[in-house]
Amino acid sequence: MKNCTMLLSLVAMVVLAAGAAAPAALIDLSGQTVTAESELDTINWNKEHVFDNDHATRWVGGYAPQNEYPAGTHSRWIYVDLGASYEIDKVEIDMETAAPGDYTLRVYDGATAPDPDTDLGSWTTIATITGRSDAGYGASPDPVWDETFDFDAGTHTSHLGTVISASVVSGGGTGNWLLLHSTKSSGNYDGLSLWEMDVTATATAVPEPSTLALAAFGLLGLIGFGRRRKR
């Protein structure tokens, strides 16, 4: 009986481990599908550069017609396929001098990301920044991460220009798509350029039914093994 109890405890531990939530972790987004409103070119300033884990490569949105983007009649945006559904814990952004002045971070949980130009309202806003002043050439030395959103703590820090207001949704949101949507440039630069974005998140996936079935089969097998040993 003692052996049987030990085996049951062991199986219970296996089942619990299968169902335990994954810890928050930095997601490697290199190679994931990236979609942007525009890109200046596909070699030197392409959209994939924002998620390639390299702070020396950047994306540049296409140059806007004079005054169009700063006037707020046009948006610049970029979104990435996270590969699975996550609760967003932290987002860090390395910005170029053509930084977003007014922008939101948004998530969407679903098979197909809504088009930010025609269906922005379907995305869930998790952070809003307004009124960043002309960033000039940024702080010296470059702090690498110019803007950090910590959704667990509900805080925001910025090192580029001066931000008038920042709103962060505590706990972030859940989605398999993450969008940065900007309606205004930070100053004299009428494009939008980002070096890198890092996303720390917690997978929301529940154990697959097959995983639980395997655990159940294991339980039955171990009970059978324990009984045979007792004879």
The residues with which 200 forms a beta bridge, in sequence order, are 26, 90
220 near 2, Cβ under 8 Å?
no
Q: Which stretch binds Ca ion (CB under 5 A): 7-15, 52-60, 113-121, 127-135?
A: 52-60
Rounded to a whole number of angstroms, the CA Rg of the chain reads: 23
For Ca ion, which is the closer residue by CB, 80 or 222? 80
Which run of H or of E encompasses 192? none
Candidates 75, 186, 196, 222: give the one binding Ca ion (CB under 5 A).
Answer: 196
Using CB under 5 A as the binding rule, whether residue 54 contacts Ca ion is answered as yes
**Strands (DSSP E) found in 31-170:** 34-36, 59-60, 76-95, 100-108, 124-130, 147-150, 155-158, 165-168
Tally of CB atoms within 10 A around 156: 19
186 near 135, Cβ under 8 Å?
yes
The distance of closest approach from Cβ of residue 165 to Ca ion in the complex, given in angstroms and rounded to an integer, is 21
Candidates 7, 11, 48, 49: give the one binding Ca ion (CB under 5 A).
Answer: 49
Using CB under 5 A as the binding rule, whether residue 96 contacts Ca ion is answered as no
Q: Which stretch binds Ca ion (CB under 5 A): 12-20, 149-157, 193-201, 209-217?
A: 193-201
Using CB under 5 A as the binding rule, whether residue 142 contacts Ca ion is answered as yes
For Ca ion, which is the closer residue by CB, 49 or 181? 49
Candidates 92, 94, 102, 190: give the one binding Ca ion (CB under 5 A).
Answer: 94
For Ca ion, which is the closer residue by CB, 52 or 87? 52
CA distance 114 to 119: 6
The distance of closest approach from Cβ of residue 105 to Ca ion in the complex, given in angstroms and rounded to an integer, is 17
The distance of closest approach from Cβ of residue 159 to Ca ion in the complex, given in angstroms and rounded to an integer, is 7
Candidates 146, 172, 178, 182: give the one binding Ca ion (CB under 5 A).
Answer: 146
Q: How far is CA 123 from CA 36, 154, 178, 229, in A?
A: 15, 19, 9, 58
Tell me which residues in 57-86 interact with Ca ion (CB under 5 A): 57
For Ca ion, which is the closer residue by CB, 89 or 146? 146
114 near 148, Cβ under 8 Å?
no
What is the binding site for Ca ion (CB under 5 A)?
49, 52, 54, 57, 94, 142, 146, 196
